[in-house]
Structure 1
Amino acid sequence: MNIAIYNGNLQPTTFVLRLAQVVNEEHTVLVSGSSPKLFKHQKQGLNYLPTDPSNKLVLLIQFVLRLLVFFCVQPKKCRHFVSLLRNSDKPLLTRFKQFLIWSKFISNNIEVVHIQWASHIFLFEEILEHSYFKTMVSLRGRLINITPLAEADLKALYQRTFPKVNQFHAVTHHIKKQAMIYGAAEDKIKVIYSGVEVNSFDAFRKKDYAKRDTLQILSVGRQHWKKGYNYALEALKIVLERDIKATFTIIGAADSEEIIYTVHDLNLKNEVRLTSKMDYQDVLKEMQKADVLVLPSVSEGLANVVIEAMALGLPVISTNAVGMSELVIHKETGLLFENRDVNDLAEMIKGFNSMPQEDVKKMTDTALKKVIIQHNWKTFKQSFNDFYTC
């Protein structure tokens, strides 16, 4: 089966790359999206298909050339695409982009288009009712939980398009329920948890875990308000005021003016370290050195960093936002605090700091078993192969 994994651009995230690599073992996969490159190419064993350039002039030139070529090769489909787009009220450049995407998928005999980010469904809206290829959409965190609540146009887009999508992949059961609000049929949504190869973490696993006199707290994630770092910093301030020694490293937040200001405002310069985004292996090394991972996010689908922390034997304190309780079971696989509740987070950090070593070990062992069962790599692979062939 020929599958196009549409990512919006040709710089996919780690979990999208993992998905493409898994699917590529059984099917022919093209990772697709906007790119300065013009031609199909291969990188690290995966085939990449640039669908449209980001430069407006190049986009226009490529559209004209593509229109001529596609009309010569597939005149009937070309006329149909033009007809669909002529009746669309989208901006002209967007319609050029759509034509390039659709025609390139047809020329590459794509049978399934898997849209990784739900908001990109607007690029396929006019073609959803026609059987040129099956459309599948992944449902992840913010784009389902938050954005459509704040953006009426996106909510309306989902309500128009979700009933027409062939199949959905949801990262949690909670996300599945949210998508149904916008018209996604329950029987078309398959929950597939992210998969990890637990053995790949062996070199980084914390074999002889022991907390130090100064608690080493770690958070990992991009700079975004939904990551809730300000709540974590306020909780740290409370913890320090209770005479608990602690430091806090946030990977990926070095350039955030808001976070830097909060650190200075709370007088935490000596206790907080902000770093730029790191390579994956370097992140694992930082996790290996930490005592506990804190996930303070206001909203999450199911955070991959928490799965990885559990696979490494690193204890987790997580917000109970959205789908996190499907992985972090309070006092069994980690500690949960009430979303946005600074005092509750401070209490969890304080409680963890005084937790007996044998209880921490029991919790991390249970967490590892949870990852092995729920996020099993073989199950993940089989689930997606079934997903595409159903």
Structure 2
Amino acid sequence: MSKKIKIAVYSGEVPSTTFIERLINGLSEEGYSVLLFGYLKKRISYTNSKISVITYSDNRIQKLYHLIKYSLLLGLFKKEEKKRLDAIIKEKSKNKKLAKIKYYPVLWHKPDLFHLQWARSIEDWIWVQDFGIKFVVSLRGAHINYTPITHPEIALLYQKTFPKVDGFHAVSKAIGREAEKYGASSAKIQVVYSGLTKIEISEEKKESKTFTIISVGRTHWKKGYTYALEACKILKDSGFKFEYYVIGAKDSEELGYLVNSLHLEKEVFLCGKVSFLKVQDLMKNADVLLLPSLEEGIANVVLEAMQLGTLVVSTDCGGMEEVIENGKNGFIVPVRNPQKMAEGILRIAQLPPIEKKRMIEQAQMTIEEQHTNEKMISDMISMYQKVTAL
């Protein structure tokens, strides 16, 4: 394709998640014009001129200016299209003013392709197809794996809209299969794995007398931390000496109570949120990253640990078996199984140095072959080109 398409990457907020920001920068570096619409959460300056930020804020005057500006532009130069969009807004939107603030700039700038990052917002944006804009939806974790199960109205929404979507980006094969249950065509689903930027790992791990386990992530039922703590109880009762740090769990009343009731105060530490660089440092110096989750797409924290040379024990939730080959580059255990979780941790603790080194190298090779930023951008561009060629 000789012509570089114009792509809108929409998550609702600017800036967005690490993955989406990597996507934005990667596309612009490949020469694609990238449009960012939505709410300005924090001022950000992109160095690449191919990235255009078209946002609104909480400031009432700025919002009003935003609305008037695009109302006038559309009224003067795209009058018929504005009428059609206004009719859609009148029929489907409860907050018509906010809908105009969000939708008018998209119609004015009219990208070739609109990539929606969160499937739950599909009904808000499927209208772009009526104006010749190709519509791509990302399939991610909670939005596909359990939200439509716990919210039947979301399942019905997906069943109504998924067959109409031009293309799907799935973060794993497993989540693509879940989307098919709601009418997504397998032919329109392309798996694009999250990519990591290359890093130099020069420093050796800091020596620690105590075997260190780490988990990272918000305290949510799907993270499975209660099972991790039960695994810790099994480890303690077996006489194994360890320390377990849960980053981001400091304010969890539930976990705090469970630590106390299992008498793990000397082994388990619920820590507050820390910077990305600090998390990287903590992971690099841990002996094991534990992912006890009940549901994931593919957990980025696992990819980061593998890249850093920290071995992983993960449950077989979501797409984790697409990354971890049990006994080769880490260990996979069943969900909700503290006994197997504890056994996986002990297996790593008991690995001979040569075997441990081999497993770390295999994990890093997996990242190099499957999860580089370059591969992610290349695969995403391939999907965009396929969709726009339809």
Q: Same fold (TM over 0.5)?
A: yes
Aligned counterparts, 1:101-120, within 5 A? 101-120=102-121
| Distance in 1 of aligned mates of 2:334 and 2:206 | 27
In structure 1, the residue matched to 2:137 is 137
TM-score (norm 1): 0.90
Q: 1:35 aligns with which of 36, 40, 52?
A: 40
In structure 2, the residue matched to 1:159 is 159
In structure 1, the residue matched to 2:283 is 287
Letter paired with 2:19: F
8 Å CA contact 1:63–1:100 kept in 2: the answer is yes
Aligned pair count? 380
In structure 2, the residue matched to 1:345 is 341
In structure 2, the residue matched to 1:362 is 358
Letter paired with 2:82: C
Letter paired with 1:113: F
In structure 1, the residue matched to 2:321 is 325
Q: CA deviation at 1:131?
A: 3.4
In structure 1, the residue matched to 2:79 is 75
1:10 matched to 2:11? The reply is: no
Which string of whole-angstrom CA distances, capped at 9 and with x for unpartnered residues, describes residues 23-76 of structure 1? 111211123322368xx9734547463545457897678546643443233211
In structure 1, the residue matched to 2:176 is 176
In structure 2, the residue matched to 1:192 is 192
Letter paired with 1:174: A
Q: CA deviation at 1:333?
A: 0.9
| Distance in 2 of aligned mates of 1:182 and 1:202 | 43
SS in structure 1 of the partner of residue 319 of structure 2 = helix
The 1:189–1:253 alpha-carbon spacing in structure 2 relative to 1, beyond 3 Å, is same
8 Å CA contact 2:129–2:135 kept in 1: the answer is no
The 1:276–1:66 alpha-carbon spacing in structure 2 relative to 1, beyond 3 Å, is same
| Distance in 1 of aligned mates of 2:129 and 2:163 | 10
TM-score (norm 2): 0.90
| Distance in 1 of aligned mates of 2:202 and 2:103 | 44
Q: CA deviation at 1:383?
A: 1.1
Give ranges in structure 2 of 5+ residues lacking alignment. Answer: none
Aligned counterparts, 1:241-280, within 5 A? 241-280=237-276
| Distance in 2 of aligned mates of 1:211 and 1:351 | 20
Letter paired with 1:239: L
- Supply the RMSD in Å over aligned alpha carbons: 2.4
8 Å CA contact 1:195–1:376 kept in 2: the answer is yes
Give ranges in structure 1 of 5+ residues lacking alignment. Answer: none
Which string of whole-angstrom CA distances, capped at 9 and with x for unpartnered residues, describes residues 204-232 of structure 1? 6x5xx698542100111122221111111
Q: CA deviation at 1:262?
A: 2.0
| Distance in 2 of aligned mates of 1:386 and 1:197 | 20
Letter paired with 1:10: V
In structure 2, the residue matched to 1:306 is 302
In structure 1, the residue matched to 2:27 is 23
SS in structure 2 of the partner of residue 240 of structure 1 = helix
8 Å CA contact 1:232–1:342 kept in 2: the answer is yes
8 Å CA contact 1:172–1:191 kept in 2: the answer is yes
| Distance in 2 of aligned mates of 1:137 and 1:43 | 24
In structure 2, the residue matched to 1:217 is 213
8 Å CA contact 1:34–1:51 kept in 2: the answer is yes
| Distance in 1 of aligned mates of 2:297 and 2:320 | 7
SS in structure 2 of the partner of residue 263 of structure 1 = helix
Q: CA deviation at 1:371?
A: 1.3
In structure 2, the residue matched to 1:202 is 201
8 Å CA contact 1:250–1:273 kept in 2: the answer is yes
Letter paired with 2:191: V
The 1:271–1:302 alpha-carbon spacing in structure 2 relative to 1, beyond 3 Å, is same
Q: 1:49 aligns with which of 50, 53, 56?
A: 53
| Distance in 2 of aligned mates of 1:28 and 1:267 | 56
Q: CA deviation at 1:18?
A: 0.8
Identical aligned residues as a percent: 34
The 1:44–1:254 alpha-carbon spacing in structure 2 relative to 1, beyond 3 Å, is farther
The 1:349–1:117 alpha-carbon spacing in structure 2 relative to 1, beyond 3 Å, is same
1:227 matched to 2:226? The reply is: no
